[in-house]
Amino acid sequence: MPRIKDETSPRTGRATLSLSPLVVEQLVDWYARHGRDLPWRAPGTSPWGVLVSEVMSQQTPVSRVAPIWVEWMQRWPTPKDFASASQAEVLRAWGSLGYPRRALRLHECATAVVDRHGGEIPAEVEALLALPGIGMYTARAVAVFAFRQRHPVVDTNVRRVVARLVKGEADGAHSTRKVDLWETEMLLPQQESLAADLSIAVMELGALVCTARSPRCSECPVSSSCKFLATGEALPDRPSRRPQRYHGTTRYVRGRIMELLRGSSGPVLRAEIDRVWHEEKRRQDALDGLVHDGLVEPLPGDRFALPE
């Protein structure tokens, strides 16, 4: 019996994918032995802790997230604790994680959890989606990783593993499409807890072993079942996407301004902001964007501060 089945649905005409119980077992066992020891994976982590980790990890390496997550959970162990914080406290605690609007949206989310759900993170995807700042990926991730439910949780690592393992393709799409969700769901066992285990195992395999350009196929627990490896084809020499320049961009200057404000005990003068970056237009665009996003508050006397 093949370990990976690829058939056609008579109802939709689409190829249906599935993993054999052996492949599922191999992936789950591999994760149990080799998964990273991240603080939010510790037994007893609350759904709030899982939600915070997911928001922090968006477009940010987990190595940078981990120490800030620990400090955050010690300071604000529940949504109610966090909802009582000021915006300035939140932005200072967010530090250099980047995209600080996430911090304010998380603050709005905690307030909504207190108001709508008595301070408890809801388990249903629909209820999670109704919270401020929570998109489909985060809602499903919390439902799966905190509440052990069966939903497709698809990021770039999952797209890559599915593309190589079951479709024989070199890489997945640049962003998650409906077909990616559909295909990933087809691979999940019906048993909810096992489906949750497989979801995190596939994601971890993509992060550690089945990487974009230098996969360690000799360390892969399911290499004998990998359709792409079986083709004998080599990966492209160049990345599928060019790395984006960061230094000197408007986002970079926004970060410099936020760093200045977080390190100040009070409002700062425009002259101090002017020293952050030499290009006036880039600097002004960054400042205007921060004000528009509610991350910086303009004050009389041409001064600026974090919102309270």
Q: What positions carry a catalytic annotation?
A: 54
Q: What is the SS3 assignment for 282-306?
A: HHHHHHHHHHHCCCCEEECCCEEEC
Closest CA to 196 of 126, 123, 281: 123
Cα distances (angstroms) measured from residue 17 to each of 23, 220, 240: 13, 20, 25
Alpha carbons 31 and 239: distance in angstroms, whole number: 27
**Half-sphere exposure for 129 (CA within 13 Å, toward CB):** 6
Do β-strands 303-305 and 297-299 pair in parallel, antiparallel, or remain unpaired? antiparallel
Cβ atoms of 106 and 68 within 8 Å: the answer is no
Q: What share of the chain is helix, strand, coil (3-state, %, to 5)?
A: 55, 5, 40
Q: What are phi and psi of 166, to 5 degrees?
A: -110, -15
Cα distances (angstroms) measured from residue 161 to each of 18, 156, 223, 228: 14, 9, 11, 10
The residues pairing with 6 across neighbouring beta strands, listed in sequence order, are: 17
CB atoms within 10 A of CB 59: 9
How does DSSP assign 237-273, residue by residue? Answer: SS-SSPPPP-TTSHHHHHHHHHHHHHT-SS-EEHHHH
Q: How many residues does the chain have?
A: 308
